[in-house]
Structure 1
């Protein structure tokens, strides 16, 4: 039996487009001689459909789209998963449907272990990332197919391969995983659909970060493939794909961002240019009395190197007006309010352009800043997307060096100079924060590894510093709740799994 894995980029809620894409993949699989074509979970609705499943009108339209696929499928089996067929206790059952010759010939609730029969083969099915249930053993399946859409996580590919290889070894049968590709909201799916032989060898691997159609023949033998090795290019490709789909699937084609001459905005500008095309990117420099000449030069040079539109809007006039209004003179006090109002002036200017020109503003804050609240509400946090909000500062440097691997796109000075918000004279980030390699180490151990303060200190970190950083992380929840959505690339901890109460008084000491 020839089984085709349809790795395609669905759009949540776009039933017409998804139906057409599914039909196109069915035709391609049929032309390639496949007996069965398999789609990743929730391919018809787009994944994840979330609250759309509670909308009666969407369910009605989805069932009509499913009937359209059923009526048009002929000469090939089609395996789809959907949550629109049955409902129990206000929960939508996740069902797999086996379509052939204009009708549903098999149906299986995927929340429970089970198998389907097709052309004399017994097929075990699941949508779980975990190991199989023992009940499959009694059915003696010939092949195992997993429909789970796994979103990308840096340095987790080897874990995925090991997990699925183990399942193939456990049952001694081929294991097939068909994955989704593309960005849907904050999630980015890498594709990389896989087939393992009965010995657990990886024998077929789909493309990374692009659509693909791969075919596995149960009667053929295959040579083992090497396990894919991730490097920083995978992160960059994930960010570009997630950025592109976030914009296009939301109906936007143009973006803008503040270009400060710093490394974060430089990285986001490069991602934007690769995702949308340089002609659709606007970089705006908004210098103040505290902006260094090299920052202005670096911002301009980056825009020239990328070929993006570049504008300069000095903020001295509105800043001076605030000082006169609030201080009663032209003299500055030098407090935090004067620093933050500069960021808020910039945010207002960017939102003015966004509204007038129909461009989505993107924020340029990174994960390290988001963790400890080193950003300004209604200032540099403004935007419809924070593409690097899940990227630690140390990884920002890695990505910028990757971008410059062949030629200088990001000015070298941007990469080597000490980072600064430039909101007061001679300001540096490390006036308020430890070196970023230290900060990122503490953040990772706390959020991703779930280590306690004592455990982090035992790794060689200063106790007073560790307590300060962990307390900052907890206190800054109110800022993170108001931040733009981020592309989830490194972990869910800061964004989802470790949400702190908005009102709480626990402090480590």
Structure 2
């Protein structure tokens, strides 16, 4: 009977930092050998370049940097360990998404990804050529069949690797998170393992990259589709999988399995991870945000503190005539509760100066949202000034429901560098706020319970201009993520007036969303890379 220790390196590379990523790999192999006695260490897809490298792949120096990094890895890494790692590479004039195998100081073989995804956030056909052949590599008596991410989702390369003699399937992945994605992956692994009766080792990357966030969850299922090892979600680290050969079959042994977490915890961790890595990888000292006493800024503050610590978060209350006393009280209470810097900057002098300057130009017109937007834009100016002076990134706080229908002000509450809630519907904002308070006090209960309001006019409430958020979000999910027509949504039981009102707002506000800060993607169809609609078009909302 033989045994084999494979270590899944669930790590967080930095896109473009090829020397740094190579150093991370060298150190991980050293640690895996010392701590776990690793025979094999497997890294995620495109680990050396980081994922997704996008147009960095088109830089002429990319290939030279990769060659240099791979040469240093061959020199520095343990010769006793088989290293399987992802990187891009140009071969005979074509660029491929590759998995390379390094052993005994030499690069032994390369596998080229066969199925290149070109949907949702993926754009790999822009950069890569598809591979055509399976790769099975024999190491210490175990025949390893290589796969890269979409190869597993398609399934054809899975069978091809088995037909080529693979005993164990090893899949390198950079699989972004969204609602229910972890469960989808496990179902997929179970199905394929049962079909081919082979164990599958699934290595996923972790961490945030622009709007994408990767949850880890590297795992191994046996040839019956039973989960044997599951690495923690949202934690970088090395996770061993022990294989034993019995009757010419390699069987993974039962190891650590991360307990299942509830949906709110998983989503909250995604938001914290995305914000933390965006700020830290970009080199910002911290963040500053407008704390209004409302639910969105309150949840954003909790996320920021959990991501960065209170010492790196500053908050500003910027009241005007319509700001309720309870909003001021709740904002101050939360700032004290979370231990962040808090100050008040009144915007009335600024708004009145603008109003006076514009008086002649506005003569003969009625007061409308123009005056409301002046308030928001004055706040935006103050936040950007603090950002410039203190080196802090402005964290915007609008949620997906608002961004969908344009319930936000350009150059006002939309100014900033990042938005943790950009892909979070309002109904989920409330769910997350309640969940966060169950962990420890973070948001005053009154903030969660009171009706939402932008407080830009007397007695204003969001419901004055929008359907109830439960109805609004249900319509938006069907229209944005389900691509349902207005008629189909009406047939599903929603009021015709509500549906057409919401759909028209979504279509009309594309220009606003193009100018919005990037934010964490947590649904299957986020604004940005996922959903690309022309700003100017003649499409009718009923179609």
TM-score range, shorter chain: over 0.9
CA distance, structure 2, for counterparts of residue 212 and residue 358 of structure 1? 31
TM-score, normalization: structure 2? Answer: 0.90
Q: Deviations over 1:170-217 (max 9, x none)?
A: 110110100001111111111110100000001100011011211122
User: Are 2:219 and 2:230, in contact at CA under 8 Å, matched by a contact in 1?
Assistant: yes
Match of 1:360 in 2: 393
Could you tell me how far apart the structure 2 residues matched to 1:173 and 1:250 are? 42
1:377 and 1:322, CA in 2 relative to 1: closer, same or farther beyond 3 A?
A: same
Map of 1:157 onto structure 2 = 182
Equivalent residues of 2:134, 2:146 under 8 A apart: yes
Aligned to 1:264: 296
CA distance 1:351–1:435, shift in 2 (3 Å)? same
Does 2:148 correspond to 1:127?
A: yes
**Secondary structure at the counterpart of residue 83 of structure 1:** strand
Q: CA deviation at 1:292?
A: 0.8
**Following the alignment from structure 1 to structure 2, what is the Cα–Cα distance between the partners of residues 212 and 226?**
13
SS of 2:527 mapped into structure 1: helix
Structure 2 gap ranges (5+): 115-130, 245-250
Provide closer, same or farther for how the CA distance between residues 157 and 263 of structure 1 changes in structure 2, counting only shifts above 3 A.
same
1:44 matched to which residue of 2?
48
Tell me the equivalent position of 2:118: none
State the alpha-carbon separation in 2 of the partners of residues 87 and 191 from structure 1.
33
2:199 and 2:144 mapped to 1: Cα distance? 10
Q: Which moved more, 1:32-41 or 1:131-140?
A: 131-140
1:30 aligned partner: 33
Match of 2:136 among 99, 113, 116: 116
Which has the larger displacement, 370-379 or 28-37?
28-37
Question: 2:490 matched to which residue of 1?
Answer: 457
Deviation at 1:227, TM superposition (A): 7.9
1:182 alignment counterpart: 207
Q: Determine the structure 2 residue equivalent to 1:55.
A: 59
**How many angstroms does 1:496 deviate by?**
2.8
Structure 1 residue 208 corresponds to structure 2 residue 212: no
How many residues in Structure 1 have an aligned counterpart in Structure 2?
A: 507
**C-alpha distance in 2 between matches for 1:465 and 1:403:** 32
- Once the two structures are TM-superposed, the CA of residue 228 in structure 1 deviates from its matched residue by 3.1
Distance in 1 (alpha carbons) for counterparts of 2:348 and 2:63: 54
Give the deviation of 1:506 after TM superposition: 2.2
Question: What are the residue-to-residue correspondences of 1:389-468 with 2, within 5 Å?
Answer: 389-468=422-501
Change over 3 Å in CA distance of 1:329–1:506 after alignment to 2: closer
Aligned to 1:70: 74
Per-residue deviation at 1:472? 1.2
TM-score of the aligned structures, taking structure 1 as reference length = 0.96
Q: Secondary structure at the match of 2:55?
A: helix
Structure 1 Cα separation of the partners of residues 8 and 408 of structure 2: 44
Check conservation: 1:115, 1:122, Cα contact below 8 A: no
| RMSD between superposed Cα atoms in Å | 1.9
- Equivalent position SS for 1:203: strand
Q: Which shows bigger deviation, 485-494 or 40-49? A: 485-494
The answer to whether the 8 Å contact 1:87/1:93 transfers is no
Q: Does residue 140 of the first structure (1) align with residue 196 of the second (2)?
A: no
C-alpha deviations, 1:48-101, integer Å up to 9, x for none?
A: 111111112233222211211122221111011211342645xx2112211011
Q: Distance in 2 between matches of 1:106 and 1:325?
A: 71
C-alpha change, 1:22 and 1:438, in structure 2 (3 Å) is same
1:292 paired with 2:324, answer yes
User: In structure 1, how many angstroms separate the alpha carbons of the residues matched to 2:525 and 2:479?
Assistant: 13
1:222 pairs, out of 243, 248, 253, with 253
Query: Which one of 355, 372, 381 corresponds to residue 405 of structure 2?
Result: 372
